[in-house]
Amino acid sequence: MKITIRFFASLKEALKIDRLELELPATVKTIGDLRQHLAQHHVGWEDVFAPHKNIRAAQQLEMVSIETALIPGAEVAFFPPVTGG
């Protein structure tokens, strides 16, 4: 499955990339699987996508959880929690 991944704010700065097109193996089926895949297969990304890190995700512009199934061809966005005031 091929998807587009976008990174925002501090994630973009830490990873030094804002967009990535990726062909995923069949074992990557959910947002949580994708996080784990990114942590394991990209050098230096282990800490950014560590399970204890609070990272928000959206798929096709909708907020999603780690259990959400990936949609082939989708755009997935990762970003840190947002605060305002």
**Tens digits of per-residue pLDDT, 59-69?**
999 999 999 99
**Tens digits of per-residue pLDDT, 8-61?**
999 999 999 999 999 999 999 999 999 999 999 988 899 999 989 999 999 999
Domain 2-79 annotated CATH 1.10.3720.10: no
Domain ranges of the chain: 2-79
Calpha distance 76→83 (Å, rounded): 21
The secondary structure element, H or E, covering residue 14 is helix 9-15
* Contact (Cβ atoms closer than 8 angstroms) between residue 12 and residue 29: no
Mean pLDDT calculated for residue range 68-75: 98
